[in-house]
Structure 1
Amino acid sequence: MQHMEECKPEADNELCEAEPESSKILIHLLEGNAFVWNVEDARKIREKHGLIGKLVGALVRKPQQNTRLGLPLGLLPEETRLLVEIGAATLVCGCIKEKEHADLSDLHLQDSTSFSTAVLEESSKAEGETFKRFLLNSYEEQRQLALEEKRHTLERLSESIIKGRSKQKRRHGKREEEPMESCSHGPIKELQNLEETFHFPEEAMMVQIPTARTNLHSIEEVDLCKASLDWPYAGQKKHELRFKVFRDLWQKGYYLTSGNKFGGDFLVYPGDPMRFHAHYIAICHPQDEEIPLSYIITAGRLGTNVKKTVLLCSSNEEGLVTYTSLQWSGLQ
């Protein structure tokens, strides 16, 4: 067992400067879970801030597979808090409008679970109606564009159409019954009342697949210092320890992901996980609590089996994070 003050001899990364409000990443909270819906924000989180997250959304064209996933990007509570504290992101959650709140208050709900369910149902109805209006507006916009394109095409080809119809009539021995159409400068009959006669089928409409969720209802900013249904981590001792460890390793230049699959708190990578395997399994444990010997043996064996070093991470009252590495030395 080896005591470690630092895992990597590199200098700490400087904290990023706070970004303008207009360019901040919007992180949407839902009952303790953090999501990023905008693809550019997700790219910025990984490339600029060195945070990974996890894609949790189904692909539109292949919704029944889970090998490759898409937006939204799910963030760990520690990743979420770090982005907010460095001024790169803002936490928001959906809130009920006053009229909706008044309607729900008439239900005389008995507990918070029923209230939460009613809120979600009411929000889903509102989102459904908003999406229908979005599709209707999109159809009208595309119909207008198709109408203008049809008008320009007919105007461009009108002279050719008139000549072709005149030849066809002469071929059949018919007299010119439409002098206006026979004139090269007059409009053809298809251009008359085109607005009323033009038909644009709904099946031909292009449906946009958004990369970010539209704000279908009002949103409000969430305070990290206050515990709530959407952010229950404020003041939790375990979260505070995990965050101190996460922030310290991130400042040292490491990339971190969830360590659940290896029985730890975090997996620690020397670079982007797309290019490197994890070198460490970080396990956070309070400094003033004893660790059972069986737990240490189990963690050490696990790290050896998966070829990773186990880090026992703790923090003192001043916030200084210390690390103890576990490695099997083998039989001599």
Structure 2
Amino acid sequence: MYLTLLNGTGYVFNVEDYMELRRKYHIIGAFVGTANSKGWSSSGTAMPVALTKWETQLLIDEGICVLLSKAKDLTKEPTPESLETYKKAAAARIHAQGNALRAEKLRETERHLDKIVQGKRNKLLKQNKTQEAASLTAKDVLEEIDRSFVFDTQNALVELPCEHPTKHIGQLYTETIFDSSSLKYRVFHELWQLGKFVTAGDAFGADFLVYPGDPMLYHASHIIILQATPVIAPLELIAKVRLSVNVNKSCVFAYEQAENKKIIYQTVAWCNPSK
């Protein structure tokens, strides 16, 4: 599976690839496309999907994906032939939109054809055009609408293809995206190996959010906070745990043991003696 290098991380442009990453490998990323009110995203965003740097590094380390840099090919000056090909393809897409709109207009007319014909006949009668009113048929109305239809290209929808519409070449990118020895990566990797859905936790003042299932169906159950040492100031501890209580999630601190570099996870719950 291929990821495209953009802004220092991997992007997914293929819908089938993303669905496999999400369902099979529990990689979520974030939709960064625009102008979509339906589908997998409730925020109006759409494909492509930007992965975090640690998600990208994990997919590379696990041999699930390879990272490609397409900057050289996609930023070079287009040839006259490629420009002409693109213009013809764009014109064909706009022409297809016009045909689709024409067909829809005719279908909508047919739904109310009897009323439209009667209205036109009444208008002709008011103009003392009795013969024209008597000879007017439904076929005449449809043909008139078909002839008068004009598609204003200013109203055309601009297609933003999910994948690049023309052939291009990518170079394999082998540099490190995220430090695999860092505590953040190792915690993410361990939780991922446990089959958890893990996303960035910035919105909750944490490092990670952990979900019992796909975030489309479940709320996060835990917030993960990374600590350089097992020591934490009392006020900071209270603030973090109170936050987790307010958002109805368990608060987990993760830190590394100095002796053997093992990661320790410690859950802290808020206790209210009055209850």
The answer, yes or no, to whether TM exceeds 0.5 is: yes
Equivalent residue for 2:240, pick from 299, 307, 323 = 299
Q: Take 2:233 and 2:192, find their aligned partners in 1: how far apart are those partners?
A: 28
Matched, 1:213 2:164: yes
Deviations 1:154-198 (A, max 9, x none): xxxxxxxxxxxxxxxxxxxxxxxxxxxxxxxxxxxxxxxxxxxxx
Equivalent residue for 2:197, pick from 237, 252, 255 = 255
Structure 1 pair 60/327, CA: closer, same or farther in 2 (3 Å)? closer
- Tell me the TM-score normalised to structure 1 length: 0.55
State the secondary structure of the residue aligned to 1:274: coil
Q: Take 2:84 and 2:37, find their aligned partners in 1: how far apart are those partners?
A: 24
Q: Take 1:29 and 1:283, find their aligned partners in 2: how far apart are those partners?
A: 28
State the secondary structure of the residue aligned to 2:72: coil
- 1:265 partner letter: D
Q: What is the alpha-carbon root mean square deviation over aligned residues?
A: 3.5
Aligned-pair distance for 1:242? 0.9
Alignment partner, residue 125 of structure 2: none
Aligned-pair distance for 1:31? 3.0
Matched, 1:90 2:41: no
Alignment partner, residue 34 of structure 2: 58
Aligned-pair distance for 1:281? 0.4
1:165-204 mapped onto 2 (5 Å cutoff): none
Aligned-pair distance for 1:321? 2.3
Q: Take 1:130 and 1:68, find their aligned partners in 2: how far apart are those partners?
A: 36
- 2:255 partner letter: S
Equivalent residue for 2:86, pick from 121, 129, 135 = 135
Alignment partner, residue 18 of structure 1: none
- 1:49 partner letter: Y
Equivalent residue for 2:57, pick from 81, 93, 99 = 81
- 2:202 partner letter: N
Alignment partner, residue 315 of structure 1: 256
- 1:252 partner letter: L
Q: Take 2:81 and 2:212, find their aligned partners in 1: how far apart are those partners?
A: 45
Q: Take 2:228 and 2:19, find their aligned partners in 1: how far apart are those partners?
A: 34
Aligned-pair distance for 1:218? 4.2
Alignment partner, residue 126 of structure 1: 77
How many residues get paired?
211
- 2:219 partner letter: H
Q: Which runs of 5+ in 2 are unaligned?
A: 94-150
State the secondary structure of the residue aligned to 2:31: strand
Q: Take 1:134 and 1:207, find their aligned partners in 2: how far apart are those partners?
A: 17
Q: Take 1:281 and 1:128, find their aligned partners in 2: how far apart are those partners?
A: 51
Residues 37, 45 of structure 2: 8 Å contact kept: no
Structure with the larger RCO, 1 or 2 (CA within 8 Å, 6+ apart): 1
Alignment partner, residue 34 of structure 1: 10
State the secondary structure of the residue aligned to 1:295: helix
Alignment partner, residue 244 of structure 1: 186
Larger Rg: 1
Q: Take 1:329 and 1:134, find their aligned partners in 2: how far apart are those partners?
A: 68
Residues 37, 44 of structure 2: 8 Å contact kept: no
- 1:315 partner letter: E
Structure 1 pair 60/324, CA: closer, same or farther in 2 (3 Å)? closer
Structure 1 pair 245/208, CA: closer, same or farther in 2 (3 Å)? same
State the secondary structure of the residue aligned to 1:126: coil
Q: Which runs of 5+ in 1 are unaligned?
A: 1-23, 98-121, 143-200, 226-230
Aligned-pair distance for 1:82? 1.3
Q: Take 2:91 and 2:214, find their aligned partners in 1: how far apart are those partners?
A: 45
State the secondary structure of the residue aligned to 1:223: coil
Matched, 1:69 2:45: yes
Q: Take 2:223 and 2:60, find their aligned partners in 1: how far apart are those partners?
A: 25
Deviations 1:43-76 (A, max 9, x none): 11101111111111102689xxx93111110111
Q: Take 2:223 and 2:171, find their aligned partners in 1: how far apart are those partners?
A: 37
Structure 1 pair 291/126, CA: closer, same or farther in 2 (3 Å)? farther
Q: Take 1:57 and 1:254, find their aligned partners in 2: how far apart are those partners?
A: 26
Structure 1 pair 270/140, CA: closer, same or farther in 2 (3 Å)? closer
Q: Take 2:78 and 2:12, find their aligned partners in 1: how far apart are those partners?
A: 18
**Identity over aligned pairs, percent:** 29
